[in-house]
Amino acid sequence: MRSLPCKVVPLPGETSTGYLGRLADANALDITSLVHHISRELRVKNLSVANPRFTLMTEVLGGLAQGHFARDRPRFLLYRRCHHAGWRLQRCAQCDVVDGARAACMVCSNGSPTQVFSRGGRYCVRHRRWHSDSEDELIVDVRDCVRAEQALSGRLWSRGVTMHTGEFDLAARLICDSWCEHPVAGQRVAGRLYVAIVDLLVTLTHPDVALTMAALAESQRRQVEGLIGLVVGAGRGSRTPELEDTAIRVIRVHRAAMYEALWMPKSNKATISRAPFEKAIAEASFRAKAVFLRHVTRSGRRDAFGSRAVRGAPSSRVVSRRIVPGWADNAPWNAVVIPAQSAAP
Ligand SMILES: [Zn+2]
Ligand SMILES: [Zn+2]
């Protein structure tokens, strides 16, 4: 197979399927026909476009060096904990986990929609554009958006937090709850919501704050009040019954998960030995969808005796595969769909 006449330069962290779509656009080809053509060349039916053989053909059609997409991928591995690195927060080539794909800025992609899994969120600092699946527009008042984007692709990225690792959805829910008593402001709500969510995330994923939210030695009432205060401060919203309900649920879930982590036996058969702290935190976070608990790095004060039995930890291999993008999609606070155009103060 020969390469197509009109070349397209791949974006950093662009998915091979997104790239193929742009390549088809640049050469005025229908993407479905192009996919059929590749399948015919490979003499296969119904081959996934993510299949390595398919990716290889995409590279040939685009005139890219063989293995381009595989070589590009390690630059975008997520920071996470796994047994390969002794549960330290690192990027692991063996786990090979990258972020979920998101819509790229339409100016970066020369007007053809595509998807990337590189670090960052919904604002293109270079072109000052807000971009998501349904929107792509120029933002004039940029200061807060730039700050939020830099936090998401800098500090939060190095903590292993992206828009698809669960924390973002919970922070969005909390901010929306604190805004729900105010009338809809209309324009730029998505951008304001984004800035408030990222500000809240920077605070809640700090190891000390995450510990304060989950520590068993703290009073639950004070933890709820503390969380409400942080949410209202980050979004400049107000204390609403919805926010109180969500905050109570979040603290309850995080405390219960912290208890599980502290008392988790090494295995189902173990009676005395406990699982390593970081591994137990990962497993307990996963079981309860306690998305902020995984940022806790020390145990704090603990009870002398556990009053309730905890299921043992599975093998390290299993726990290392637990927290990947999308792992908290069915968390209880995600049950209510957050509207894209929410109310704002
Ligand atoms: Zn690993
Ligand atoms: Zn751009």
Whether residue 92 is contained in a domain is answered as no
pLDDT digit string (tens) for 87-130? 999 999 999 999 999 999 999 999 999 999 999 998 999 998 88
The mean per-residue pLDDT over the stretch 256-270 comes to 91
Q: Are residues 66 and 145 in the same domain?
A: no
Domain termination residue (choose one: 74, 93, 121): 74
Q: Are residues 180 and 290 in the same domain?
A: yes
Q: Which domain holds residue 48?
A: 16-74
pLDDT digit string (tens) for 276-310? 999 999 999 999 999 999 999 988 776 666 678 89
pLDDT digit string (tens) for 21-31? 999 999 999 99
Domain termination residue (choose one: 37, 59, 74): 74
Q: Is 271 in a helix, a strand, or coil?
A: coil
Q: Are residues 319 and 187 in the same domain?
A: yes
pLDDT digit string (tens) for 172-202? 999 999 998 875 555 467 778 889 999 999 9
Half-sphere exposure of 213 (CA within 13 A, CB side): 30
Measured at the CA of 252, the angle between CA 251 and CA 257, to 5 degrees, comes to: 95
> Is 342 a residue whose pLDDT tops 90?
no
pTM score over 0.85:
yes
| Ligand closest to CA 83 | 1
Q: Quick one: how far is CA 266 from the chain centroid?
A: 28
Domain termination residue (choose one: 50, 74, 98): 74
> What is the number of domains present in the chain?
2
> Is 163 a residue whose pLDDT tops 50?
yes
Q: Are residues 68 and 148 in the same domain?
A: no
pLDDT of residue 188: 66
pLDDT of residue 341: 45
pLDDT of residue 303: 63
Which residues are in the CB-under-5-Å shell of ion ligand 2? 105, 107-108, 124, 126-127
Whether residue 163 is contained in a domain is answered as yes
The mean per-residue pLDDT over the stretch 69-98 comes to 95
The C-alpha atoms of residue 47 and residue 76 are separated, in whole angstroms, by 26
Q: Are residues 43 and 148 in the same domain?
A: no
Q: Is 115 in a helix, a strand, or coil?
A: strand
Q: Are residues 166 and 32 in the same domain?
A: no
The rounded mean pLDDT for the chain is: 89
Ligand 1 centroid, distance to 315 Cα (angstroms): 13
Instruction: Give the pLDDT band of residue 2 (cuts 50, 70, 90).
Output: confident
The C-alpha atoms of residue 138 and residue 130 are separated, in whole angstroms, by 6
Q: Is 77 in a helix, a strand, or coil?
A: strand
Whether residue 303 is contained in a domain is answered as yes
Whether residue 292 is contained in a domain is answered as yes
**Integer distance in angstroms from the first to the last C-alpha of the chain?**
57
Ligand 2 centroid, distance to 126 Cα (angstroms): 5
pLDDT of residue 345: 45
| Ligand closest to CA 97 | 1
260 to 273, 284, 285, 320: CA distances (angstroms): 14, 6, 9, 17
Whether residue 85 is contained in a domain is answered as no
User: Is residue 255 within a helix (H) or strand (E), and if so which, with residue range?
Assistant: helix 241-263
Q: Are residues 175 and 320 in the same domain?
A: yes
Q: Are residues 293 and 193 in the same domain?
A: yes
280 to 260, 262, 315: CA distances (angstroms): 8, 7, 11
Going by DSSP bridges, is the β-strand pair 79-81/89-91 parallel, antiparallel, or unpaired? antiparallel
Going by DSSP bridges, is the β-strand pair 129-131/123-124 parallel, antiparallel, or unpaired? antiparallel
Ligand 1 centroid, distance to 50 Cα (angstroms): 22
Whether residue 97 is contained in a domain is answered as no
Q: Which of 157-161, 244-248, 337-341 shows the lowest mean pLDDT across its residues?
A: 337-341
Q: Are residues 60 and 145 in the same domain?
A: no
Q: Locate 288 and state its tokens.
A: 């309860």
Provide, rounded to the nearest whole percent, the portion of the chain with pLDDT above 90. 70
Regarding predicted confidence, which is higher, 218 or 337?
Answer: 218
Whether residue 304 is contained in a domain is answered as yes
The C-alpha atoms of residue 129 and residue 107 are separated, in whole angstroms, by 8
The mean per-residue pLDDT over the stretch 31-60 comes to 86
Q: Are residues 330 and 186 in the same domain?
A: yes
Whether residue 169 is contained in a domain is answered as yes
